Structure 1
Amino acid sequence: WSSGGKLKGPEMFQYLGIPEQEKLLAAVFIEYPEMRDDSRERKPGSLRNDRSDQWIREVTL
């Protein structure tokens, strides 16, 4: 997930169709293995090594 960087810029708001007067609190990035693009660089989160094994759970709808 992310809550800053390029997500706060007007270009991203326009791309996502978010009105200027609204705020984007965070975005969750989901990657499907069958659509993985190994040509793109992935950066691990800065808190990745500080979280417990219970930091995530899968929900099936």
Structure 2
Amino acid sequence: MSVHESAALHAAELAARAEAGTLSALDARSLAHAEDLMAWAREVLTEAGQLRLIGGA
């Protein structure tokens, strides 16, 4: 599993907690970190011309 895939799964789990109203402050920071990891992975893959690896164009 790639960094992007792992971060995306974690972000989805935390987003579900946020929607349910059970997101703690620690979970909120974890969600922000997961989103940062996804953005970083997208940037690296874009620069490498490999965005297709995460379903991008």
Q: Fold conserved (TM > 0.5)?
A: no
**Bigger relative CO (Cα 8 Å, ≥ 6 apart):** 2
Higher percent of residues as helix:
2
